[in-house]
Structure 1
Amino acid sequence: MFSVTFIKRPILAMVISLLIIIGGLVSMVVLPIQEFPDVVPPTVQVSATYTGANAYAVEESVTRPLEDKLNGVQGSIYIDSSSTSAGQSVITVYFQPGYDLDIAAVDVQNKVSMAEPSLPAEVKQQGVIVDKMSPSIVCMVTLNGDERYDDAFLSNFININVIDELRRIPGVGKADNMGEKKYSMRIWLNPDKIYALNLTPEDIINAVKSQNKQAAVGKIGSSPTFRDQQIEYVLTAEGRLTQVDEFEEIVIKYKDDGSLVYLRDVARVELGAEKYDWNAILNKNPTGLIGIYQLAGSNALEIRKAVGKVMEKVESRFPEGISYSIPYDTTKYVNVAIDNVVNNLFTAILLVIIIIYIFLQSWRPTVIAAVAIPVSLIGAFGAMYLAPGFSINFLTLFGLILAIGIVVDDVILVVENVEVIMYKEPNLTMPQVVKKSMIELIGPIISTTLVLVAVFIPVSLMPGITGSLYQQFALTISFAVMVSSLNALTLSPAIAAIIIKRRKKDEKIFVGFTLFEKGFNWLTDLYTAFITLLVKGRYAVLLLFFGLLGVIYYMFSTTPTGFVPAEDKGLMMVAVNLKPGSSIERTVDVRKEVEDIVARIPGVADVIVIDGYNIITSTLDGSAGAMFLTLEHWNERTAPGMDVNSIISQVFVKTAHISDATVAAF
């Protein structure tokens, strides 16, 4: 018989359990840590910029040709797109859950390549970007400077010195310079002067292009040449212009009298930003802002730690007066919540052990049952690692908490049956007692395991997002139950044969156990009398049963539904949307009013603002603004009215008088 082998060879049983524990411990380190399982369909984003075009022109000349080719890409379920007056086209392709994101990105890139010939030259010059979309933001890093540094300097400093370091962090899907103001030479034409000189803007553009370029001017003395040529010269010439005065010296026109018209004669040249479509603000001060997004399946906590280390390293290169901060951090809640779940896990283990000890009234069988708990739970992590897409999250940890009471059932069955046979047949040795017990129990242990697994496996087969959400919960319990069944057939009988001993006839029983037995017998008698009464009034019980079914149905119908419970994560967002077509200047004015209100609400610690950013569509929109609020620590918000739901309600109430915009907090 299977278990007899391990009764005779207990070291083999222990080695198997140790291997299970080692594999589980290694898996615990490797498995990604998340708040919830990945339920968002894999997405690929296609973005392009048509500078100077309005939303209709972007839609007709960029978005539609791309959509025509992307429609029906293998594995996709639907596509959405956005064309903005900032000249930006964003198309998001959603794929079936579980579809390989790398393959999806390659398929989308191939379709985009087919559409590129039909796009405007200005769009092809800037490029069409295909990127694996990362909807989960880990944190936001800000660069803050004193009065010597404006937002343009901070934004460009990020591009040159910081953002590449962050993009190289394993698991980072995207590091986005939000509110980016890339340096650019801006040329303000004087219409009266260019008209008087019979010039057009196109003439000036062509002059700038022809005189501001990197030219390959060749070599002198390169082959083929004279046989006595001794030296070869590589010619170099001044490349692209970099200073304002260099641009001002660009020749625009040659007059008939031999005089020259320079760019400074018809225009004002200044160093500015490539675009002013969005701004980044931290607590009412201009800032450089980086959004860190994680790839699907990566560990958010490890990414956050790596971001902190990278920023500490690059801080040594910061000029005087510049510092960094991470005011928006989504991992704080995950850290606190998972710590709470882990504490509850250990509390549940302790309670189970205490209850087992009270009922079995001996430390020997209690040790056997207690050993089964860590072996089963840690072994479940090893199975989670082997299963694709699993992570350590609230649902898997919740499944382990529920499994604590289940994984000890088989072990309790083993030790209880051993003690029964031990006293029924006192002539048998302990290995013989355990062997006879396992012969009786091997069938029930396997059957109960299969029944439990049969209960949870169908939950993992549910389709759609619901199935993706609860799959890991159901399978985690199944993994723990299967490991506990293996443990009950191997390690538990091996240890039972070693440590369980018969009690001596004159051995005293602890007085607490005696009192517990009396109390438990009293409860048993009371329960028996109650059941007898119910049997006599069985028709009333049946009527009560159907009445309770009606109450349950009513409560099920009237109770509000939701995808996941709303939690106070210490973070919230505020969207400010003006009428379509509103200028960025008007948006800034309204945003400042909203920001003043929000910043004064008790419990709000930091306010990050992005002007010109639509938080719903994740696109540039001059008539929209987004705010990312970090609340004070939970320990500092214990007073009534300082939880996140109360603060959200205050935002709605205190901004209700603003008629120029719709303000939504969530």
Structure 2
Amino acid sequence: MNHPTHDAPRLGLAGRTAALFQSAQITPLLALVALLLGLFAVLVTPREEEPQINVTMANVLIPFPGASVADVEQMVATPAEQVLAQMAGTEHVTSVSRPGLAVLTVQFKVGVSRTEALVRLHDTVRSHNDWLPPGLGVLEPLIKPKGIDDVPIVSLTLFSPDPAIGAHDLERVAHSLELELKRVPGTREVRTLGGPGHAVQVQLDVARLAALGVTVDDLRRALQGANQGAPLGDLLQANQALALEAGPYLGSAREVAELVVAVRDGRPVFLRDVAEVRDGAPPATRLVWHGLGAGQSAGQGTDAKAVGSEYPAEYPAVTLAITKKPGENAIDVANGVMTRVAQLRNTLIPEAVQVAETRNYGATANDKAQKLIQKLLFATASVVALVFIALGRREAAIVGSAVILTLTVTLFASWAWGFTLNRVSLFALIFSIGILVDDAIVVVENIHRHQLLHPGKTLAEIIPAAVDEVGGPTILATFTVIAALLPMAFVSGLMGPYMSPIPINASMGMLLSLLIAFIVTPWLSRLWMKTHAPAAEAQVHASATGLASRLEPLFQRVFQPLLDDQRGARNRGLLGLAVAGLIAVSVALPVAGLVVLKMLPFDNKSEFQVVVDLPVGTPVEQTAAVLHELGAYLARQPEVTDYQAYAGTAAPINFNGLVRQYDLRASSELGDLQVNLVDKHHRSEQSHAIATRLRPALQQIGQGFGANVKVVEVPPGPPVLAPLVAEIYGPTAEGRLSLARQVRAIFSQTESVVDVDDSSIAAAPRKLVLIDRQKAAAAGIPQAAIVATLRAGLSGEAATYLRDASKYPTPVLLRLPAERQGDLEALLQLQLRGPSGRAVAIRELV
């Protein structure tokens, strides 16, 4: 009688894959390629601190000279909003109306490329040039785009303890450094913040102008007329063509002073006869200084107290802000900049000038990357050690090799996807390391188990069935985890692309680990695992040995009560109740306030910012006084190494300041303090705790000057305008402002709300000079000429520019002396000339 034969069970996808690659010659080649691709990705992937997010913004500045806020809003800002809102891909369009200027901010949706967004914006603006009448007086719109690459990665503050070296001298040194630092590969923009600038000041002498009958318009025409030149053509002489040019241009303050501006009684009137000509820094409209704190380490080469200053260790300064090109490695660019600065010491950088590294995002990115890589290696080593203890050294070597190959090929896939090496992408690998090793461990452990079950078979016979046995559950588990993680990649807003490396890198890593577990791991197991010799059935089912023999009694004590025939059901019920109780307690912890729910934990940064807003119309000197008091308090804090104060100009922006548009903080009543802390490895408190502790004292100091002081920390995740934002809409400006004040009062009285601010612009004190049109018409003087003369006398007017071969053109400024800026009578004594040639004082026309 013939008995039917039973064929071996048909292998599934995992088993067939393992059988195909366990002896294939291409398998080691694939493993080598995976390793090399990973090494290539490590070398070429840019390293940065934060993920690169396309947050394309643009400010559209539309000048409307002489217009009031109401006219700017109704005639320019509102129609412009409607025009710009037509573009596809815009998140929102907002506007701020100021006297004579409309500032519109266009923010595109996250993910819209910078090039595409700017093409749309320029096309929309240019194609709607006719949206306002040509004669209205609105000037050409100016578009200033902003993006993540506009955030400086390095800032260098130049200062000197020598009192003879002021901000003007430091600014000249900084300008000479700009070209050298721009030559560093990868740098994008190098610009100087602070410094008074350089100008030839023509300080008008009202009495002399009146005595000689010279007007501001005469000076303007003389300067502009004398500063002309052009090529005239070729002069043919002696069979040779000579290029003929007319000139020369004004090239120095001496030439300006010697300029003839009028002729009286046959005698020339020089510019120096009616004005004082000075070459140098104009009156300061922006102030920057560098202060040293108690945390400043010794040996920095600075004195404890600046000469002539009542505040400890404060020195005039300027700041160089350096950005990088898109896709460049922040670490390499920052290192290149600092190396070049070291080479320029005692050449372009005088010995008396010191350079403080007040920001280096390349160094912080490298530090975080190294820390995360160390943790990644530690996690991998821990897994391999556990496998070594549980299964043996050969199995541990196989699992370790599989994990390394998975990580390397995942890094290559991450680079190909467009991610950089940053703290979020590396966190994704650390987060998924436990899942990445599961596939290899499951496969190796089952092969090890099949060796014990079938000691008479070879590894080549065992491996396909062993892999196939766990293949289905492994595939299912992999795709289940991917399905749980992948939706995070579709989160909208800034949080979506910021956190996208976690679901995408983890998902790619798990898919690649599955392939490596089915392709490379069987091949390594066939070569490295030890073949078991044939043994008796009793030996196959022998008692556990090694670690298993020590763990078996523990498991029996734990599980025996749960599996007991008589009391097992009761014990399992009690266990279920205990688990449910623990879950209830964990859910109640946030409700009771014992656990704070947050999207991301606080990041221990080495910097924070103090933003100071004073009432509109506050002079820059008063703003500087407030910053000095705040700086003096900060200098006494042991965690503060140094700080930079910016009055009337904006500090170098960070990612947070990019979204909040801190680069527009350039008014006399606005000030910033950029505070740098001791390295986190040398202090016990985190930066958030320090900022929280210092905030009440800083706000109290500001209240004494009527200033609104806010402590701004760099957020651990993507930036936002504020944790709480209330948007108020309404038909009238008065109604909106009234409701905004009520909402602000509610916020101020709310517990745990520490800073409250709004976007309203307070009315500044002003005085109106009313021009008598009838008198002006009778004198034959247009109103525009009166306005231009008044503006030149008070605010200054760049009548022309020197041709002195400097990078930044030197203006020739017409204005009253600084000591007479507050004298309205002196301003009204300026004269204009009518068609009859008679000079008329402005006082007679207003």
- What residue in structure 1 maps to residue 710 of structure 2? 664
- What residue in structure 2 maps to residue 577 of structure 1? 613
Residue 177 (structure 1) aligned with residue 221 (structure 2): no
Change (3 A) 1:237 1:562: farther
Q: Which of 538-547 and 286-295 deviates more? A: 538-547
- What residue in structure 1 maps to residue 631 of structure 2? 595
Residue 128 (structure 1) aligned with residue 162 (structure 2): no
Per-residue CA deviations over 1:529-586 (Å, capped at 9, x if unaligned) read 3534674155555555554454444334544444532222111211222112101111
Alignment of 1:374-393 (within 5 A): 374-388=404-418, 390-393=419-422
Aligned residue-pair number: 646
Distance 1:187 1:53 in 2: 28
Post-superposition offset of 1:375 = 0.5
Per-residue CA deviations over 1:389-446 (Å, capped at 9, x if unaligned) read x122222222212322222222222222223332333332221122332343443443
Residue 291 (structure 1) aligned with residue 321 (structure 2): yes
Change (3 A) 1:101 1:451: same
Structure 2: any 5+ residue segments left out of the alignment? Answer: 1-15, 292-313, 652-659, 713-846
Q: Secondary structure at the match of 2:251?
A: coil
Residues 170 and 195 in structure 2, CA contact (< 8 A), matched pair in contact too: no
- What residue in structure 2 maps to residue 188 of structure 1? 203
Residues 402 and 440 in structure 2, CA contact (< 8 A), matched pair in contact too: yes
Residues 174 and 318 in structure 2, CA contact (< 8 A), matched pair in contact too: yes
- What residue in structure 1 maps to residue 785 of structure 2? none
Calculate the TM-score normalised by the size of structure 1: 0.87
Post-superposition offset of 1:98 = 1.2
Q: Which amino acid aligns with 2:689?
A: N
Distance 1:51 1:261 in 2: 33
- What residue in structure 2 maps to residue 156 of structure 1? 172
Per-residue CA deviations over 1:236-290 (Å, capped at 9, x if unaligned) read 34433232221112222233x2222221122112123467332221122112211
Residues 156 and 183 in structure 1, CA contact (< 8 A), matched pair in contact too: no
Distance 1:61 1:156 in 2: 42
Distance 1:578 1:232 in 2: 65
Change (3 A) 1:298 1:15: same
Change (3 A) 1:65 1:142: farther
Post-superposition offset of 1:353 = 0.9
Q: Which of 650-659 and 49-58 deviates more? A: 49-58
Distance 2:282 2:74 in 1: 24
Distance 1:49 1:167 in 2: 32
Change (3 A) 1:121 1:102: farther
Residue 254 (structure 1) aligned with residue 263 (structure 2): yes
Residues 55 and 147 in structure 2, CA contact (< 8 A), matched pair in contact too: no
Per-residue CA deviations over 1:10-56 (Å, capped at 9, x if unaligned) read x4211101101111111122222233323462223445788999978
Q: Which of 482-491 and 112-121 deviates more? A: 112-121
Q: 2:516 aligns with which of 487, 492, 495?
A: 487
Per-residue CA deviations over 1:477-535 (Å, capped at 9, x if unaligned) read 111111111111111111111222234679x9xxxx95632331122112213534674
Alignment of 1:86-101 (within 5 A): 91-101=104-114
Q: Which amino acid aligns with 1:341?
A: L
Change (3 A) 1:233 1:573: same
Q: Which amino acid aligns with 2:429?
A: L
Distance 2:283 2:224 in 1: 20
Distance 1:65 1:204 in 2: 40
- What residue in structure 1 maps to residue 670 of structure 2? 624
Post-superposition offset of 1:606 = 1.2
- What residue in structure 1 maps to residue 385 of structure 2? 354
Residue 608 (structure 1) aligned with residue 644 (structure 2): yes
Residues 81 and 94 in structure 2, CA contact (< 8 A), matched pair in contact too: no
Change (3 A) 1:36 1:318: closer
Change (3 A) 1:363 1:539: closer
Residues 652 and 665 in structure 1, CA contact (< 8 A), matched pair in contact too: no
- What residue in structure 2 maps to residue 461 of structure 1? 490
- What residue in structure 2 maps to residue 225 of structure 1? none
Change (3 A) 1:139 1:18: same
Alignment of 1:164-243 (within 5 A): 164-167=179-182, 169=184, 171-213=186-228, 215-221=229-235, 230-243=239-252
Post-superposition offset of 1:365 = 1.6
Structure 1: any 5+ residue segments left out of the alignment? Answer: 223-227
Distance 1:20 1:90 in 2: 52
Change (3 A) 1:592 1:168: same
Change (3 A) 1:293 1:122: farther
Residues 575 and 614 in structure 1, CA contact (< 8 A), matched pair in contact too: no
Change (3 A) 1:636 1:463: closer
Distance 1:400 1:120 in 2: 62
Q: Secondary structure at the match of 2:491?
A: coil
Per-residue CA deviations over 1:428-465 (Å, capped at 9, x if unaligned) read 22211223323434434433332232222222222222
Q: Secondary structure at the match of 1:490?
A: helix
Distance 2:390 2:367 in 1: 35
Greater fraction helix? 1
Per-residue CA deviations over 1:147-195 (Å, capped at 9, x if unaligned) read 4432123223323x22244445555454332114332222211223323
Q: 1:8 aligns with which of 17, 20, 23?
A: 23
- What residue in structure 2 maps to residue 333 of structure 1? 364
RMSD across aligned positions (CA)? 3.4
Q: 1:500 aligns with which of 529, 533, 549?
A: 529
Change (3 A) 1:217 1:173: closer
Residues 372 and 427 in structure 2, CA contact (< 8 A), matched pair in contact too: yes
Distance 2:66 2:163 in 1: 32
Change (3 A) 1:448 1:547: closer
Q: Which amino acid aligns with 1:73?
A: M
Residues 3 and 490 in structure 1, CA contact (< 8 A), matched pair in contact too: yes
Q: Secondary structure at the match of 2:667?
A: strand
Change (3 A) 1:611 1:306: same
Q: 2:86 aligns with which of 67, 72, 79?
A: 72
Post-superposition offset of 1:294 = 4.2
Q: Which amino acid aligns with 2:89?
A: G
Q: Secondary structure at the match of 1:289?
A: strand
Residue 245 (structure 1) aligned with residue 261 (structure 2): no
- What residue in structure 2 maps to residue 302 of structure 1? 332
Residues 150 and 286 in structure 1, CA contact (< 8 A), matched pair in contact too: yes
Distance 1:413 1:318 in 2: 62
Post-superposition offset of 1:383 = 0.8
- What residue in structure 2 maps to residue 110 of structure 1? 123
- What residue in structure 1 maps to residue 286 of structure 2? 278
Q: Which amino acid aligns with 2:48?
A: Q
Distance 2:437 2:220 in 1: 79
Q: Which of 137-146 and 571-580 deviates more? A: 137-146
Q: Which amino acid aligns with 2:38?
A: G
Residues 62 and 120 in structure 1, CA contact (< 8 A), matched pair in contact too: no
Residues 406 and 512 in structure 2, CA contact (< 8 A), matched pair in contact too: yes
Q: Which amino acid aligns with 1:490?
A: I
Residues 562 and 571 in structure 2, CA contact (< 8 A), matched pair in contact too: no
Change (3 A) 1:124 1:290: farther
Distance 1:369 1:271 in 2: 74
Distance 2:405 2:532 in 1: 28
- What residue in structure 1 maps to residue 399 of structure 2? 369
Residues 184 and 337 in structure 2, CA contact (< 8 A), matched pair in contact too: yes
Distance 2:146 2:343 in 1: 28
